[in-house]
Amino acid sequence: MSLSYDDVDFGAELPPTAPDVTLGNVRRFTAASGMTFGRFHDHEEARKEGLPGAIVPGIMSQGMLVALIHRWAPRAVVRKIDTIFRAPILVDSHPVARGVVTDKNDETRTIEIDLTIQNEAKETRVVGTATVELP
């Protein structure tokens, strides 16, 4: 059964996800999005730029947060998503995406969700907010 607006409480936590940021999957993303910079899909190229290794594109991080929302509420319509790229997520690392409902608007049947992606060291690398309409 799909989640509806009335099912959601203020403070509800979305089930965390473990996005796939293996090199192979990031290469799939860069191929589909036309992001050809070596720092996204080649560890050596990234190191030449002074990075510790290849990094996940910011917009892929944003897409992972959109996917987090749809995995929780498949019929949700994302009306707006704003993400801040605080620090890079490394390719081949093990990040976790999380979300929590911070507001509800009965008139528009929309909710606000605070979003984060943390790395293995529990450092928050990406933060964001989304406005989401639910049926």
Dig out the tokens for 37 from the structure: 């910079």
Which CB, 7 or 24, lies closer to other proteins? 24
- Is residue 72 within 8 Å of 13, Cβ to Cβ? no
Which CB, 10 or 31, lies closer to other proteins? 31
Dig out the tokens for 122 from the structure: 């529990």
Give min distance, CB of 122 to other proteins, in A: 21
Which CB, 10 or 35, lies closer to other proteins? 35
Q: List contacts with other proteins (CB under 8 A).
A: 17, 19-20, 25-26, 28-29, 31-35, 58-60, 62-64, 66-68, 70-71, 74, 78-85, 128
Give min distance, CB of 119 to other proteins, in A: 17
Residues 6+ apart with CB under 8 A from 75: 2, 3, 134, 135
**131 sits in which H/E element:** strand 124-133
Give min distance, CB of 1 to other proteins, in A: 15
CB atoms within 10 A of CB 8: 20
Which CB, 10 or 135, lies closer to other proteins? 135
DSSP 32: H
Q: What 3-state DSSP class applies to 97?
A: strand
Give min distance, CB of 108 to other proteins, in A: 14
